[in-house]
Chains A and B, each alone.
Chain A
Amino acid sequence: MKTSFIKKSLILSVALTVFSFMSAQKVRVAAAANLHYALEQIKKQYEHEHPNTTVEITYGASGTLIQQILNGAPYDFFMAADKDFPLKLQAKGATTGPIRTYAFGRLVMWSSETDLSKGLNSVLLPTVKRIAIANPTGAPYGEAADAVLKKYGLYDKVANKIVWGENISQTAQFAFSGNAEIGFIALSLALAPQMKGKGKYYVIPATMSAPIEQSCVLVKGWERNGEAARFMQYILSAKCNAIWEEYGYTK
């Protein structure tokens, strides 16, 4: 009698677990590294509103991510740090549906100790021995930093001080750990709880470096997962505005 009760409840619990797994939806997102903190909050909010859905996010340089997608990595949704990478992916026939812009991000200079009041020219200070920039081939924020230094004739003067981060997070970590005095990073990272108060940042004025248009697109094959489209709609909706704003993005 007793054993059959245990058996029954065991079977029931196994059945329930299996059932809940089957009904649980999963959205796999490939996201640019600058989104790290903001997107974690959006994920939390989304999962709270949609308890049956889990959002799995992989962060990396946009270049790394499209490389992975083109080689068959199972992502449903790609959130890039610019518009070019989604376009590249589209050109290779790896996307479905339109490319949509979800936010504009800003490039900042970040430093734990160096005085940034001279703006961009702070890179010339003698105390600055290393300047961290994300690798421009894969990271749009690195590309923007590279471009602004070249535009104002500073690049050649500091070329021997530049160290290249693999993505924008590693670049931030180079500056955060003090191994580089100045890091060119995304405003969203400078505003992250981990970095806030640990240093100063200077937002490169929009006239010098235009806000970076960050776009997203569904990856071909997402159709097996209707939840991905719903997540994309959510990202674009007004429900996320407060979070975008908190991390310095504009719409």
Chain B
Amino acid sequence: MYSEFIETLFVTGKLAVATTILLFIIGLPVSYMLAFARFRLKILLEALISMPMVLPPTVMGYYLLVAFSPQNGFGKFLEHYFDLRLAFTFEGILIASVVFGLPFMIQPLQNGLMSLPESLREVSYTLGKSKTKTFFRVLLPNIKPSIITGIAMTFAHCIGEFGVVLMVGGDIPGVTRMASIAIYDQAQALNYTVANRYSLILFLISFVLLTIIFSVNKRHKV
């Protein structure tokens, strides 16, 4: 029982860390583009990225389950060419949580970049710095609170994920069983002691992360 407890927490942490890293890498160029580029249909892209904030996770779970199925186009393609099946795998829930975490990373980054004075970029360009250099050396260091917020929000949200993982995860111990699912299982089996232990840990992690976000934002506002 005890090792299963640790194992489940480990899977949860692994998913949250992997999701956060991937989303940070994806989030940087996307938020830069959304903040500074002008193109048609930008509003549609923004709306699409924000969808997970309002969409029931089960909608996403349903679409993924259908997409992953080897009976359908995408799933068949993966199985045929890559011998890969995403339903009930760690990679599968990782994809799900990356997609579902998009707004939690991108919105803070985008807002941070947009709040910087335009002169900052212009001065850097005038001094002969390239766009990439300006982005990494000038812009990013100036939106540290947004970066911290994005990372903490993504991590916290990922730990709290339930619906999608329940639908496409398959509840495999040590692979796709997350703490949030384990709480549900244990409560169902009337093991309140274990459910309590998981719940307390998730409560504390979320509380600490949100406290960090709030304190960072407060300090930088003044």
Contact = CB atoms under 8 A, between A and B. Distances in A.
A129 B87 CA distance: 11
Interface in A125-157: 129-130, 132, 135, 137-138
A61 interface: yes
Contacts of B184: 166
B84 to A, nearest CB: 11
B71 A177 contact: yes
B188 A67 contact: yes
A38 interface: no
A138 B188 contact: yes
Contact of A179 (B87, B172, B185, B189): B87
Contact of A178 (B71, B187, B189, B190): B71
Q: How large is the interface on B (under 10, 10 to 19, 20 to 34, 35 or more residues)?
A: 20 to 34
Contact of A177 (B66, B85, B172, B185): B66
B69 interface: yes
Interface string A212-230: 0000000000000000000
B66 A162 contact: no
Interface centre among A164, A179, A180 (most CB of B within 10 A): A179
Interface string A171-184: 00010011110000
Given A163-B172, A179-B87, A61 B68 contact: no
23 contacts: A61-B188, A64-B188, A67-B187, A67-B190, A130-B87, A130-B88, A130-B170, A137-B185, A138-B189, A162-B172, A163-B170, A163-B172, A164-B170, A164-B171, A164-B172, A165-B171, A174-B170, A177-B69, A178-B69, A179-B65, A179-B68, A179-B87, A180-B88
Interface of B: 65-66, 68-72, 75, 85, 87-88, 166, 170-172, 184-185, 187-190
